[in-house]
Amino acid sequence: MTVDEPAVAPRRRSTLLLVAAVALVALCWIVGNPRSAGPDEPSHMVAGAGFVRFQGSGDVSPDNPALHLLEVPQMVGAPDPGCWAFVPDETPACADDVELTDDMVDAATTTYNYPPWGLVLPGLASFVPWADGYAYLARALSSLVPVLLVGFSLSALAAVGRIHAAAAFLGITPIVWFTFGTVNPSSLAIGGGLALWTGLMLLGRPHADVLALAGWAAVLLPRRDGPVWATLVVIAVCILVRTRPTELWRRMRPVPRWLVIAAAPLALIPPLWRGDLGFNLLLAMAPLALVAVEVFAVAWDRSPDRAGRAWLAAIVAGVVVVGAAFVVLQRPGGYDAEVVRLVVANTGDHLTQLVGLLGWLNAPVPTSAVLLYWATLGALVGVALLDRSRSAATVGAMVMAAVVTAWLLELGQGSNYGDYWQGRYTMPFAVGLPLVATWGVRDRRIDDLAVPVAAASWIIVNFGFFAAQRRWAVGNDGTWYVWRWGTWDAPLHPMLLLVLHAAATAWLAFVLVQRRAEVNRT
């Protein structure tokens, strides 16, 4: 046995415990969400099942050109949530009498043109002749990679400092857990987001470059806006640690380094394959912005005085403004001042949704939980300000970038009602907000905040789970008394799910705040 081996075993044990704890929390949401409870979940299920059967985009529906028909088992995407998803006081029990079978039928999907990378694993579940359990198996496969990415990220962060792991737990808000409990490509992107943040911040430590590579690919590929968020994460880390993109790249070992480059063109395949040469192709080319960032950083370092740097900053600001104006003016349907006003006016809703608006946007996380999240994040930023850490300014820039990018992405896709954007779309980037707030703070006493931050995170996520279970059991205006709740043909009674979820999240929080002490004792 080598000298290092006694220290390795406890760390490996803690990593496995963290992965198991994350998986158990995700399982509570998988089982606790009714079938078809996720926004567009039926469409994603149908698209995934069609993709693994090599059906491409299928056939255009004769009734609605926005729908495409794919031949899949009847259980895929069933039941139709129409009787309850948009009726806040109706429960999923109205769809309990729908019979599920594995007979092949033509099913409609609106997400036939999504990148397939996040739908392959849940699509494979459609080959299992288990009609009643199909949805839960598909969700489990959909969450498999995100759970691993989150578990390994939390483990790597806990080995550096308990506060970083607790802050990352705060960033995994109820909307993240809810998304992990459905079939949605956003789950892979969000899990990848935390892995990308973690891997880039920890470059130089063992296996951090592999984590960064996995996170880069997971954010980049499953969603059309993924390349934008992956690029913004890299830029934010460069600002945070005062380095250039190429310096981050050189700190990776050769194989991960070149795989990062190889992954970027994969985002171009879906829009090129479908002949979409407009806005979606532009999104896929977002990583090219890192070249511009590198050029700017080199010019900044070589600039001899403040005046030269001021000119550089003005040029960059001008380019950003011109690019934003181009998106607004050239959006599908042309410029519409009312739509722009609506998009900007909904910014408060977007920020609220970073904590959670669950289901088909009608199961709100309690306002107290939303306020607790922003208050805890604000406290971490305040500590960073007192320490004069660069992380405080970085968090402020991140919030501004997240808001403006959400505006431009919504306008660019051409909606005309100003409320297309949902908070989970931003989460691959925003999941790093609390983590960034703790990074680079020199005062070692900040590690003592790990316990209260983890406790706040536990409260937030359990308030969110309670709100979801209440919505499914009795509707938004139903009783608060859990013992009076009914069930919507759930595998487990909501009361038992609440207890299991509380215990699983408490276990996760405990392992996170204990991890540093265990490593030190070894």
The DSSP result for 206-232, as a single string, is: TTHHHHHHHHHHHHHSSSTTHHHHHHH
What six digits make up the tokens of 288?
Answer: 């090219």
Please give the pLDDT value at position 8.
Answer: 59
Burial of 271 (0-12, 13-18, 19+ CB in 10 A): buried
Pick from 23, 22, 30, 67: nearest CA to 47: 67
- DSSP code at position 94: G
Half-sphere exposure in the Cβ direction for 142 (13 Å, CA): 37
Please give the pLDDT value at position 324.
Answer: 84
**What are the helix and strand counts (H, E) for the chain?**
23, 5
Please give the pLDDT value at position 262.
Answer: 95
Residue by residue, pLDDT tens for the chain (522 residues) are 333 444 556 677 788 989 999 999 999 999 999 999 999 999 999 999 999 999 988 899 888 888 999 999 999 999 999 999 999 999 999 988 888 999 999 999 999 888 999 999 999 999 999 999 999 999 999 999 999 999 999 999 999 989 999 999 999 999 999 999 999 999 999 999 999 999 999 999 989 999 999 999 999 999 999 999 999 999 999 999 999 999 999 999 999 999 999 999 999 998 888 777 788 888 999 999 999 999 988 888 888 788 888 888 888 889 888 888 888 887 777 888 888 888 888 888 889 999 989 999 889 999 999 999 999 999 999 999 998 888 999 999 999 999 999 988 888 877 766 667 788 899 999 999 999 999 988 877 788 899 999 999 999 999 999 999 999 999 999 999 998 888 888 888 999 999 999 999 999 999 998 855 444 433
Please give the pLDDT value at position 464.
Answer: 97
C-beta separation of 334 from 405 below 8 A: no
Please give the pLDDT value at position 418.
Answer: 64
Please give the pLDDT value at position 517.
Answer: 41
Which residue intervals of 330-414 are DSSP H helices?
337-345, 347-353, 367-386, 390-413
pTM score of the predicted model: 0.94
Amino acid sitting at position 398 = M
Please give the pLDDT value at position 515.
Answer: 57
Q: Is the dihedral of CA 282, 288, 292, 293 positive or negative?
A: positive
- Would you call 76 helix, strand, or coil by DSSP? coil
Backbone angles phi, psi at 414, to 5 degrees: 90, 15
Please give the pLDDT value at position 320.
Answer: 85
Listed by start position, the domains of the chain span 10-21+140-521
